[in-house]
Amino acid sequence: MIRMALDAARGLEFVHAQGRVHRDMKSLNLLVDGNFSVKVADFGESRDLAPQIMTKGIGTYLWMAPEVMNQQEYTSAADIFSMGVVLWELFMRILPDRKPDHISKGIMPPLPAECPKDYRRIVSMCCDPKPTKRPSSQILAGLLTEYYKTITEVALTTVQNAVKAEVEEEKPKPPPIGPRPVSTRVGSAVFTSSTQSEAMSIKTRSSSMNKPFLAPPAGASPGSRSSPTSPLSNSGGAGPRPLPPQKGGSVRVKPTAERPVLSEDKFV
Protein backbone atom coordinates (compact mmCIF):
# COMPACT_ATOMS: atom_id res chain seq x y z
CA MET A 1 0.00 0.00 0.00
CA ILE A 2 2.75 2.48 0.94
CA ARG A 3 4.73 1.61 -2.16
CA MET A 4 1.68 2.35 -4.32
CA ALA A 5 1.24 5.71 -2.56
CA LEU A 6 4.93 6.44 -3.10
CA ASP A 7 4.67 5.68 -6.82
CA ALA A 8 1.71 8.04 -7.15
CA ALA A 9 3.54 10.80 -5.25
CA ARG A 10 6.61 10.43 -7.47
CA GLY A 11 4.44 10.61 -10.58
CA LEU A 12 2.83 13.80 -9.28
CA GLU A 13 6.27 15.18 -8.45
CA PHE A 14 7.29 14.64 -12.08
CA VAL A 15 4.17 16.48 -13.34
CA HIS A 16 4.82 19.47 -11.09
CA ALA A 17 8.50 19.51 -12.10
CA GLN A 18 7.28 20.21 -15.67
CA GLY A 19 5.43 23.30 -14.45
CA ARG A 20 2.00 21.76 -14.87
CA VAL A 21 -1.00 21.09 -12.59
CA HIS A 22 -2.92 17.82 -12.99
CA ARG A 23 -6.25 19.27 -11.67
CA ASP A 24 -7.98 15.86 -11.58
CA MET A 25 -5.83 13.77 -9.25
CA LYS A 26 -7.86 10.81 -7.99
CA SER A 27 -7.66 7.04 -7.57
CA LEU A 28 -9.54 6.49 -10.83
CA ASN A 29 -6.67 8.13 -12.71
CA LEU A 30 -3.98 5.88 -11.22
CA LEU A 31 -3.04 2.82 -13.29
CA VAL A 32 -1.75 -0.32 -11.52
CA ASP A 33 0.18 -3.11 -13.30
CA GLY A 34 0.70 -6.73 -12.31
CA ASN A 35 3.54 -5.80 -9.93
CA PHE A 36 1.34 -3.22 -8.18
CA SER A 37 3.41 -0.37 -9.60
CA VAL A 38 1.37 2.82 -10.04
CA LYS A 39 1.40 5.29 -12.93
CA VAL A 40 -0.41 8.64 -13.02
CA ALA A 41 -2.75 8.93 -16.02
CA ASP A 42 -5.43 11.15 -17.66
CA PHE A 43 -3.78 14.49 -18.28
CA GLY A 44 -6.80 15.87 -20.17
CA GLU A 45 -7.47 18.49 -17.49
CA SER A 46 -3.83 19.31 -16.79
CA ARG A 47 -2.64 22.86 -17.53
CA ASP A 48 0.46 24.94 -17.22
CA LEU A 49 0.61 26.64 -13.86
CA ALA A 50 -1.11 30.03 -14.39
CA PRO A 51 -3.55 30.69 -11.52
CA GLN A 52 -5.02 33.83 -13.08
CA ILE A 53 -6.32 32.10 -16.24
CA MET A 54 -7.10 28.57 -15.01
CA THR A 55 -10.76 27.44 -14.95
CA LYS A 56 -12.40 27.56 -11.54
CA GLY A 57 -14.18 24.55 -10.11
CA ILE A 58 -12.46 21.97 -12.33
CA GLY A 59 -11.97 18.38 -11.20
CA THR A 60 -14.00 15.69 -9.38
CA TYR A 61 -15.90 16.69 -6.24
CA LEU A 62 -14.83 13.90 -3.85
CA TRP A 63 -11.13 14.71 -4.45
CA MET A 64 -11.49 18.47 -4.87
CA ALA A 65 -9.55 20.96 -2.75
CA PRO A 66 -11.62 23.62 -0.92
CA GLU A 67 -10.14 26.54 -2.90
CA VAL A 68 -11.15 24.86 -6.17
CA MET A 69 -14.63 24.14 -4.86
CA ASN A 70 -15.01 27.76 -3.74
CA GLN A 71 -14.06 29.12 -7.19
CA GLN A 72 -10.85 30.67 -5.90
CA GLU A 73 -7.46 30.83 -7.48
CA TYR A 74 -5.46 27.65 -6.92
CA THR A 75 -1.96 26.28 -7.50
CA SER A 76 -0.27 22.86 -7.52
CA ALA A 77 -1.26 22.65 -3.82
CA ALA A 78 -4.72 21.63 -5.03
CA ASP A 79 -3.19 18.43 -6.43
CA ILE A 80 -1.60 17.78 -3.03
CA PHE A 81 -5.02 17.96 -1.32
CA SER A 82 -6.39 15.49 -3.89
CA MET A 83 -3.38 13.22 -3.21
CA GLY A 84 -4.24 13.31 0.51
CA VAL A 85 -7.71 12.03 -0.34
CA VAL A 86 -6.09 9.20 -2.36
CA LEU A 87 -3.93 8.30 0.67
CA TRP A 88 -7.09 8.20 2.79
CA GLU A 89 -8.65 5.82 0.23
CA LEU A 90 -5.62 3.51 0.24
CA PHE A 91 -5.91 2.94 3.97
CA MET A 92 -9.71 2.80 4.24
CA ARG A 93 -10.38 0.81 1.02
CA ILE A 94 -13.54 2.86 0.41
CA LEU A 95 -14.48 6.18 -1.19
CA PRO A 96 -14.64 9.10 1.25
CA ASP A 97 -18.09 10.30 2.26
CA ARG A 98 -17.64 14.04 1.69
CA LYS A 99 -20.65 16.37 1.65
CA PRO A 100 -20.51 19.64 -0.39
CA ASP A 101 -20.20 21.78 2.74
CA HIS A 102 -17.34 19.54 3.97
CA ILE A 103 -15.58 19.90 0.63
CA SER A 104 -15.85 23.69 0.69
CA LYS A 105 -14.36 23.74 4.20
CA GLY A 106 -11.68 21.16 3.50
CA ILE A 107 -13.04 18.70 6.09
CA MET A 108 -12.02 15.04 5.70
CA PRO A 109 -13.55 11.98 7.39
CA PRO A 110 -11.35 10.86 10.33
CA LEU A 111 -9.05 7.87 10.07
CA PRO A 112 -9.55 5.02 12.58
CA ALA A 113 -7.42 4.65 15.70
CA GLU A 114 -5.47 1.70 14.25
CA CYS A 115 -4.02 3.91 11.53
CA PRO A 116 -0.26 4.42 12.16
CA LYS A 117 0.45 7.89 13.50
CA ASP A 118 3.10 8.65 10.86
CA TYR A 119 0.72 7.81 8.05
CA ARG A 120 -2.06 9.79 9.70
CA ARG A 121 0.27 12.79 9.97
CA ILE A 122 1.08 12.67 6.25
CA VAL A 123 -2.62 12.55 5.32
CA SER A 124 -3.37 15.47 7.64
CA MET A 125 -0.57 17.55 6.14
CA CYS A 126 -1.86 16.97 2.60
CA CYS A 127 -5.48 17.71 3.52
CA ASP A 128 -4.81 20.92 5.41
CA PRO A 129 -7.56 23.48 4.52
CA LYS A 130 -4.89 26.15 3.98
CA PRO A 131 -2.95 25.58 0.72
CA THR A 132 0.23 27.22 2.02
CA LYS A 133 0.54 24.66 4.83
CA ARG A 134 0.45 21.65 2.52
CA PRO A 135 3.78 20.04 1.53
CA SER A 136 5.07 20.23 -2.01
CA SER A 137 5.02 17.11 -4.16
CA GLN A 138 8.79 16.79 -3.67
CA ILE A 139 8.48 16.91 0.12
CA LEU A 140 5.53 14.50 0.02
CA ALA A 141 7.56 11.97 -1.98
CA GLY A 142 10.39 12.32 0.54
CA LEU A 143 8.07 11.74 3.52
CA LEU A 144 6.57 8.63 1.94
CA THR A 145 10.05 7.34 1.04
CA GLU A 146 11.23 7.59 4.64
CA TYR A 147 8.04 6.02 5.94
CA TYR A 148 8.34 3.17 3.44
CA LYS A 149 11.94 2.48 4.54
CA THR A 150 10.91 2.47 8.21
CA ILE A 151 8.06 0.00 7.88
CA THR A 152 10.16 -2.21 5.59
CA GLU A 153 12.95 -2.44 8.17
CA VAL A 154 10.46 -3.16 10.96
CA ALA A 155 8.78 -5.88 8.90
CA LEU A 156 12.14 -7.44 8.01
CA THR A 157 13.25 -7.46 11.66
CA THR A 158 9.96 -9.04 12.72
CA VAL A 159 10.32 -11.83 10.15
CA GLN A 160 13.94 -12.47 11.11
CA ASN A 161 13.06 -12.74 14.80
CA ALA A 162 10.19 -15.12 14.03
CA VAL A 163 12.44 -17.36 11.91
CA LYS A 164 15.15 -17.31 14.58
CA ALA A 165 12.67 -18.29 17.29
CA GLU A 166 11.34 -21.13 15.15
CA VAL A 167 14.86 -22.45 14.49
CA GLU A 168 15.70 -22.31 18.20
CA GLU A 169 12.60 -24.33 19.03
CA GLU A 170 13.53 -27.03 16.51
CA LYS A 171 17.10 -27.43 17.82
CA PRO A 172 17.59 -30.59 19.93
CA LYS A 173 18.21 -29.63 23.51
CA PRO A 174 21.41 -31.08 25.06
CA PRO A 175 20.99 -33.46 28.02
CA PRO A 176 21.38 -31.92 31.46
CA ILE A 177 24.96 -31.89 32.67
CA GLY A 178 25.44 -33.60 36.07
CA PRO A 179 28.51 -33.73 38.32
CA ARG A 180 31.63 -35.17 36.71
CA PRO A 181 32.52 -38.69 37.98
CA VAL A 182 35.59 -38.98 40.22
CA SER A 183 37.91 -41.94 39.78
CA THR A 184 39.82 -43.30 42.79
CA ARG A 185 42.66 -45.82 42.46
CA VAL A 186 43.14 -48.27 45.32
CA GLY A 187 45.91 -50.66 44.52
CA SER A 188 45.16 -52.17 41.12
CA ALA A 189 41.43 -51.42 41.36
CA VAL A 190 39.79 -48.20 40.19
CA PHE A 191 36.55 -47.01 41.82
CA THR A 192 34.31 -44.42 40.16
CA SER A 193 32.08 -42.22 42.29
CA SER A 194 29.79 -39.31 41.44
CA THR A 195 31.17 -36.86 44.00
CA GLN A 196 34.47 -36.02 45.63
CA SER A 197 33.11 -36.89 49.08
CA GLU A 198 32.27 -40.44 47.96
CA ALA A 199 35.77 -40.79 46.52
CA MET A 200 37.30 -39.73 49.85
CA SER A 201 35.07 -42.23 51.67
CA ILE A 202 36.22 -45.07 49.40
CA LYS A 203 39.84 -44.12 49.93
CA THR A 204 39.43 -43.95 53.71
CA ARG A 205 37.73 -47.35 53.93
CA SER A 206 40.37 -48.92 51.74
CA SER A 207 43.14 -47.42 53.87
CA SER A 208 41.70 -48.80 57.08
CA MET A 209 41.24 -52.26 55.55
CA ASN A 210 44.88 -52.44 54.43
CA LYS A 211 46.44 -51.59 57.84
CA PRO A 212 48.80 -54.45 58.88
CA PHE A 213 48.65 -56.27 62.18
CA LEU A 214 51.79 -55.81 64.23
CA ALA A 215 53.44 -58.48 66.33
CA PRO A 216 52.97 -57.93 70.06
CA PRO A 217 55.96 -56.58 71.93
CA ALA A 218 58.24 -58.81 73.93
CA GLY A 219 56.71 -60.27 77.04
CA ALA A 220 53.21 -60.19 75.67
CA SER A 221 51.07 -63.31 75.73
CA PRO A 222 51.37 -65.52 72.65
CA GLY A 223 48.80 -64.91 69.97
CA SER A 224 48.03 -61.36 71.06
CA ARG A 225 48.26 -58.59 68.46
CA SER A 226 47.88 -54.86 68.18
CA SER A 227 47.65 -52.26 65.48
CA PRO A 228 49.94 -49.23 65.24
CA THR A 229 47.23 -47.14 66.76
CA SER A 230 46.33 -49.48 69.63
CA PRO A 231 47.65 -48.16 72.95
CA LEU A 232 49.51 -50.60 75.17
CA SER A 233 48.59 -51.14 78.77
CA ASN A 234 52.00 -49.89 80.02
CA SER A 235 55.23 -48.47 78.70
CA GLY A 236 57.07 -51.72 79.46
CA GLY A 237 55.29 -53.56 76.70
CA ALA A 238 53.62 -56.11 79.01
CA GLY A 239 50.90 -56.85 76.48
CA PRO A 240 47.71 -55.37 75.19
CA ARG A 241 45.43 -53.41 77.46
CA PRO A 242 42.85 -55.80 78.93
CA LEU A 243 39.24 -55.17 78.01
CA PRO A 244 37.07 -53.74 80.75
CA PRO A 245 35.18 -56.36 82.75
CA GLN A 246 31.62 -56.95 81.71
CA LYS A 247 28.65 -58.26 83.52
CA GLY A 248 28.87 -61.93 84.15
CA GLY A 249 32.65 -62.20 84.07
CA SER A 250 35.63 -60.95 82.14
CA VAL A 251 36.68 -61.30 78.53
CA ARG A 252 40.01 -62.80 77.72
CA VAL A 253 41.95 -62.43 74.47
CA LYS A 254 42.31 -65.84 72.84
CA PRO A 255 45.38 -66.60 70.83
CA THR A 256 44.89 -66.99 67.11
CA ALA A 257 47.80 -69.02 65.97
CA GLU A 258 46.34 -69.76 62.59
CA ARG A 259 46.54 -66.06 61.42
CA PRO A 260 50.02 -64.99 60.19
CA VAL A 261 51.61 -62.26 62.26
CA LEU A 262 54.01 -59.70 60.89
CA SER A 263 57.00 -58.62 62.90
CA GLU A 264 57.43 -54.98 63.90
CA ASP A 265 60.93 -54.85 62.48
CA LYS A 266 59.47 -55.14 58.94
CA PHE A 267 57.99 -51.68 59.27
CA VAL A 268 61.09 -49.97 60.71
Which positions are catalytic? 24
Gap between the Cα atoms of 154 and 49, Å rounded: 40
Of 254, 231, 253, nearest to 243 by C-alpha is: 253
Gap between the Cα atoms of 98 and 213, Å rounded: 114
